[in-house]
Amino acid sequence: MNEYLKSGRQALRLLYFLVISFSITNSIKNLFTIDNIFQIPNVERTVLFCIFLSFVTRYFLGAYRVLSEDIEIELKRPKIVIDIIAFFIQALSFYVYSLNFFDFIFTQWAVFIISLVDLVWLASLAYCFDIKPKTFKEWMINNIVFVIVIPINLIYLRNFHIMYILSFVAFIADFVYNLSFYLAHNIKGLRIFVAGPYGDNEPKEIIEENVRRARDIGKELALKGHFPFIPHTMLHGWETDQRFTIQHFKDIDFKWLSFCDALYFISSSKGADIERGIAQEKGIIIYTSLSEVPDVPKIESKRKQ
């Protein structure tokens, strides 16, 4: 793993959390002070603060899960660049939002920009890298709703309650659908099938690289507290034994897949696509990035006295 890129992600995480902390601190200050004079906030001001806090909480928890993970083994450099730009814009947007969250018009424009940036970001990850985490659908729906409704409310409706109801519903829906993602420390270890290209008819160097890649991903899954099954390492070299046919490999793979709780899809190949199709039919969880895979708490066994 590229240590420079890993350090870069750690620096980005620190910067992101620092800016968000400033945003929350600044919003609390603005909630209780008017012209630098302490005052008890009125109902409208309090509601606008709750809207701000609901958005910060949702995005912060998502960023925490993504930025707390190591960079994917695949090291998709363009993806890392996109992530850095998007996280920077997102954090900066929240800070600007915190400066004047008590203005209803300003709040709507801030939420519109934040939702639009997140929508473009997620869409680019799905289109360019085929990355669609289990949170993808719900996040996209939330963003699309805000991007469509807010301009309509700004130009035609100008209804304060619409913004409040939308933010409240988005907050509840996000936690209902994505609670296991945000609170990954409550997840038990999963049996994860590692699916990806092997390269039966490819040069030896390519096969070795595919095996190494699958092995490295298996290591990362194990370090997260899961139980990976890696057919690449188990069956490596068997293709040279004339006693085995393609059907043998399929039977072994598919049987083990039926025992697993999840499938980690590295990239497309004829065999890996079939395995992913079987996982989809059986309702098995499918991961395409290490950042999607939850961590399992490390339980230290205590010796009996």
| pLDDT confidence bin for 115, thresholds 50/70/90 | very high
Residue 213: CB atoms within 10 A of its CB come to: 18
pLDDT at 78 over 80: no
| Range name among 83-87, 107-111, 147-151, 171-175 with the lowest pLDDT average | 83-87
**How far is the CA of 44 from the CAs of 19, 150, 291, in angstroms?**
26, 18, 38
Question: What is the model's pLDDT at position 297?
Answer: 61
Q: What is the mean pLDDT of residues 151-168?
A: 90
pLDDT at 301 over 60: no
Interior/surface letters 225-243, b for 16+ CB within 10 angstroms, e for the rest:
bbebbbbbeebbeeeeeee
| pLDDT confidence bin for 35, thresholds 50/70/90 | confident
Which residues touch 162 (CB under 8 Å, ≥6 apart)?
149, 153
Q: Are 150 and 188 in contact (CB under 8 A)?
A: no
Q: What is the mean pLDDT of residues 276-297?
A: 84
Q: What is the mean pLDDT of residues 259-266?
A: 90
Cα gap 174→182, rounded to integer Å: 10
- Percent of the chain's residues with pLDDT above 70: 86
Q: Are 249 and 243 in contact (CB under 8 A)?
A: no
Q: Are 77 and 130 in contact (CB under 8 A)?
A: no
Q: What is the mean pLDDT of residues 22-34?
A: 91
Question: What is the model's pLDDT at position 3?
Answer: 55
Question: What is the model's pLDDT at position 300?
Answer: 35
Question: What is the model's pLDDT at position 283?
Answer: 78
Q: What is the mean pLDDT of residues 85-99?
A: 92
pLDDT digit string (tens) for 165-208? 999 999 998 888 877 667 655 557 889 999 999 876 778 888 88
Question: What is the model's pLDDT at position 76?
Answer: 57
pLDDT digit string (tens) for 42-73? 888 899 999 999 999 999 988 887 776 544 44
- Percent of the chain's residues with pLDDT above 90: 36
Mean pLDDT of the chain: 83
Question: What is the model's pLDDT at position 96?
Answer: 95
Cα gap 135→229, rounded to integer Å: 25
DSSP state of 295: P
Higher pLDDT, 209 or 202: 209
Closest CA to 111 of 122, 126, 100: 100
Question: What is the model's pLDDT at position 253?
Answer: 86
Closest CA to 275 of 197, 168, 171, 190: 197
Q: What is the mean pLDDT of residues 111-124?
A: 93
pLDDT digit string (tens) for 224-255? 889 999 998 887 777 777 788 778 888 888 88
Q: Are 269 and 197 in contact (CB under 8 A)?
A: yes
Count H helices and E strands in the chain, helices first.
10, 6
CA atoms within 13 A on the CB side of 141: 12
Which residues touch 226 (CB under 8 Å, ≥6 apart)?
189, 190, 191, 192, 262, 293, 296
pLDDT at 29 over 60: yes
Handedness of CA 87, 11, 291, 51 (dihedral sign): negative
**Structure-token pair, residue 29:** 């200050």
Higher pLDDT, 212 or 189: 212
CATH fold for domain 186-292: Rossmann fold (3.40.50)
